[in-house]
Amino acid sequence: PPMGTHTWLINCGASGAWPATEVSVTITQINECTTSTSPSTFWSYDDYFYCANGGTAWGAVGACTCQCPAGFGGTNCDACATGYSGTPPSCSGEPCQATSTPTDDGTDGNFHCINGGDVGGTTGSCTCTNCDTGYFGENCHNTQHQVGTMTELNNKVSNGDFSDVNTGNSIINMGDIVSLSVRTYRCSDGPCS
């Protein structure tokens, strides 16, 4: 249908039943924002909206905003984002800061390490190093499982430490490390232990 306000007769009754109800409908086209690299289009009076430093305009005309790449922020991506310093277009990640908030993932420079981990890296690339013995992973949250024999390994993998029933891989999780004592273990016929 064409744009603008139009009136249609709509029959809401049984087939062929009259009178029809008159309904006025306005059809409006929603124009999406278009990215401009010219500061003269700072405000979205038309479908162009200024985004600097590789930002992308999105939204509907009259309510355009910029989606900024990592390191940039502000209404038009013309400033360094939180956790970054410098003068655009040269924004550099600042050193990561340790926090006690488990959801801090380093995107803003705040990062959460546990189990003795030391925070390192820069905003957007935070890491945990020097985890306490037996821990590893992005936030020092994974545990290494120490085993001395093949039977102990089987028990860790099969949950045999807590039950006589093999319930599957419920103690060793995906990504966990199992360290065997320095010894050669050879499995021949039958169960290995």
pLDDT tens digits, 43-66? 545 678 899 999 999 888 888 899
What band does 30 get if pLDDT is binned at 50, 70 and 90?
low
pTM reported for the whole predicted model: 0.53
pLDDT more than 70, % of the chain: 56
Q: Which of 50, 42, 47, 52 is nearest to 73 (CA)?
A: 52
- Residue 193 pLDDT class (50, 70, 90 cuts): very low
Tokens 């924004």 sit on residue: 91
- Residue 144 burial (C-beta neighbours within 10 Å; 0-12, 13-18, 19+): middle
Residue 75: both structure tokens together: 């209404």
Q: According to the per-residue pLDDT averaged within each range, which of 48-62, 104-118, 126-140 is highest?
A: 104-118
Nearest to 183 by CA among 151, 148, 145, 155: 148
What share of the chain in percent tops pLDDT 90? 38
Residue 174: the pLDDT is 53
Both tokens of 24, joined, read: 């006025």
**pLDDT score recorded for residue 33:** 87
Q: Name the token pair of 62.
A: 């009259």
Higher pLDDT residue, 129 or 61? Answer: 129
Largest CA distance in the chain: 92
pLDDT recorded at residue 40: 73
Is there a contact between 108 and 82 (Cβ–Cβ < 8 Å)? yes
pLDDT band at 37 (very low <50, low <70, confident <90, very high): confident
Q: What is the pLDDT, as a whole number, of residue 116? A: 94
* Alpha-carbon gap, residue 82 to 99, rounded angstroms: 15
Q: Over 90: is that where the pLDDT of 186 sits?
A: no
